[in-house]
């Protein structure tokens, strides 16, 4: 397992919290923070090629970008060219010496269509010769106060460069960065609620909760339909999602009754979980919504070889609902009082334990790029890096097909 390279990822978003790309972290071992040594290139390039090499065909990210960390040894190697240039941003780490050779290599990569990102160049003693090559500049907002952040932004910002505020972890930081001038952001702010205040569940959420509970208790079709009829927007959303390209049905579904006939209750229940996180889309940040649905799909894919269909549906629900506390801004215990879920699902959501717990833990570790944790859980579940990485990329691709 020590020789496996797992993928971690973190979304990069605009000021409306629409995801514009993902930073993908490849770490060769749990201990390796960024270093990739020459003798590891064979294994490392194999991971890169197998996972990302066919990105144009298998990873349908639309116009989204893949940000890849690049150290000096990688920059000198030839396997960067395995990546699709138009979708790839090469993030040059601060450990890279900005020699004439490095500058020339970056110019050459840009001519091929790659974009270059620089990592916190303001922390260097001298102005980097790589600045003219930069398409993106990242600034770690945790290392600077407001005045220093404004100064760094003013010094480095140019019309040809897009500035990214990284490690944005609170609402206040997000707002401060917007005032400074940043329009791109990266960090856990959107997925990690800071405090919980008393919040009334709005009509859409309430409608979905009622329908979910009716379906889970094997209620009459007429009662399920009645639930939808009380909320036209929900009916529209359900039909829109079911008819989306990601669902792959050959016929168009035009009524809830038809949907029930075609889908069956389990599949309807699954789609209601999606509606649960999208019902409040006016107030729910898109990145948070997308993260929760990606969690659902990844948790489900990781459990495919372990569970029958019914349990895989539950895994999907576990992943999607694992961020309901952030979406609804209330403690998970309060959320679960309102939804009638199987004990095994509630157990995973509350304590990350039980039969589904490890799969959700692995999903969250992938999301956080927590390499030590990924290795521990993958070993426990007897997964290798290839399996986890394939599931991870497949989950991201699937969510993109939903058109959310």
Tell whether 192 is covered by a domain. Answer: no
| More reliable by pLDDT, 127 or 35 | 127
Query: DSSP string spanning 250-274?
Result: SS---SHHHHHHHHHHHHHHHHHHH
Query: In this structure, what token pair is assigned to residue 217?
Result: 């208790």
DSSP reduced 3-state for 28 = coil
Helix then strand count (H, E) for the chain reads: 18, 8
Q: pLDDT tens, 344-356?
A: 999 999 999 999 9
Q: What is the pLDDT of residues 139-191, one digit of tens each?
A: 999 989 999 999 999 999 988 899 999 999 888 899 999 999 999 999 877 66
Residue 68 lies in a domain: yes
CATH code for the domain in which residue 242 is found:
1.10.3210.10
- pLDDT value at 2 more than 50: no
Per residue in 211-237, pLDDT (tens digit) is 888 888 888 888 888 887 777 667 767
Which pLDDT tens digit goes with each residue over 56-89? 434 445 678 888 888 787 888 777 776 778 888 9
Tokens of 9: 């990822």
In this structure, how many other beta carbons lie within 10 angstroms of the beta carbon of residue 158?
Answer: 12
Domain count for the chain: 2
Q: What is the CATH number of the domain that holds 50?
A: 3.20.20.450
pTM, to two decimals: 0.71
Q: Residue 75 belongs to what domain range?
A: 6-186
**Rounded to an integer, what distance in angstroms lies between the CA atom of residue 310 and that of residue 119?**
45
Query: Does residue 207 share a domain with residue 180?
Result: no
**Average model confidence (pLDDT) for the chain?**
80
Using pLDDT thresholds of 50, 70 and 90, give the confidence band for residue 1: very low
**Class of residue 328 by CB neighbours under 10 A (exposed 0-12, middle 13-18, buried 19+):** buried
Q: Is residue 31 part of a domain?
A: yes
Q: What are residue 385's phi and psi, to 5 degrees?
A: -60, -40
CB 13 within 8 A of CB 375: no
Let me know whether 296 and 270 are in one domain: yes
Tokens coding 353: 């334990």
SS3 13: strand
Please name every residue paired with 11 in a beta bridge, in sequence order, or none if there are none: 22
Close Cβ partners of 143 (under 8 Å, ≥ 6 residues apart): 120, 123
Residue 245, pLDDT > 60, answer no
CB 53 within 8 A of CB 25: no
Q: Of the candidates 157, 186, 215, which is a domain's last residue?
A: 186
Domain shared by 181 and 115, yes or no = yes
- In DSSP terms, 70 is beta-bridged to 92
Based on the fold, state whether residues 250 and 162 are members of the same structural domain.
no
């Amino acid at each position: 397992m020590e020789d496996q390279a797992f993928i971690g990822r973190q979304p990069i978003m605009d000021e409306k919290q629409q995801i514009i790309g993902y930073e993908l972290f490849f770490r060769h071992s749990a201990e390796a923070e960024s270093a990739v040594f020459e003798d590891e290139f064979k294994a490392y390039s194999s991971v890169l090629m197998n996972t990302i090499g066919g990105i144009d065909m298998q990873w349908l990210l639309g116009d989204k970008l893949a940000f890849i960390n690049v150290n000096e040894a990688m920059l000198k190697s030839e396997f960067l060219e395995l990546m699709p240039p138009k979708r790839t941003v090469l993030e040059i780490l601060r450990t890279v010496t900005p020699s004439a050779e490095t500058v020339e290599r970056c110019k050459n990569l840009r001519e091929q269509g790659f974009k270059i990102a620089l990592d916190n160049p303001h922390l260097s003693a001298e102005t980097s010769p790589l600045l003219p090559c930069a398409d993106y500049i990242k600034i770690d907002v945790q290392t600077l106060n407001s005045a220093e952040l404004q100064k760094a932004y003013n010094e480095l910002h140019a019309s040809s460069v897009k500035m990214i505020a990284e490690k944005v972890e609170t609402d206040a930081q997000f707002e401060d960065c917007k005032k400074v001038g940043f329009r791109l952001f990266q960090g856990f702010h959107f997925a990690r609620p800071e405090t919980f205040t008393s919040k009334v569940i709005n009509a859409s959420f309430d409608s979905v909760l009622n329908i979910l509970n009716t379906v889970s208790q094997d209620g009459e079709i007429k009662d399920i339909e009645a639930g939808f009829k009380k909320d036209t927007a929900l009916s529209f959303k359900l039909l829109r999602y079911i008819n989306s390209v990601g669902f792959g049905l050959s016929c168009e579904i035009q009524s809830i009754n038809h949907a029930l006939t075609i889908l069956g209750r389990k599949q309807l229940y699954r789609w209601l979980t999606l509606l649960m996180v999208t019902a409040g889309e006016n107030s729910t940040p898109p990145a948070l919504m997308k993260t929760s649905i990606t969690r659902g799909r990844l948790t489900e894919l990781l459990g495919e070889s372990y569970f029958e269909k019914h349990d895989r549906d539950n895994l999907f629900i576990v992943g999607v609902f694992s961020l309901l506390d952030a979406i609804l801004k209330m403690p998970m215990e309060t959320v679960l009082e309102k939804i009638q879920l199987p004990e095994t699902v509630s157990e995973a959501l509350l304590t990350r334990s039980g039969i589904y717990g490890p799969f959700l833990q692995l999903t969250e570790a992938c999301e956080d790029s927590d390499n030590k944790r990924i290795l521990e859980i993958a070993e426990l579940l007897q997964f290798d890096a290839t399996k986890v990485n394939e599931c991870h990329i497949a989950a991201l691709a699937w969510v993109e097909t939903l058109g959310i």
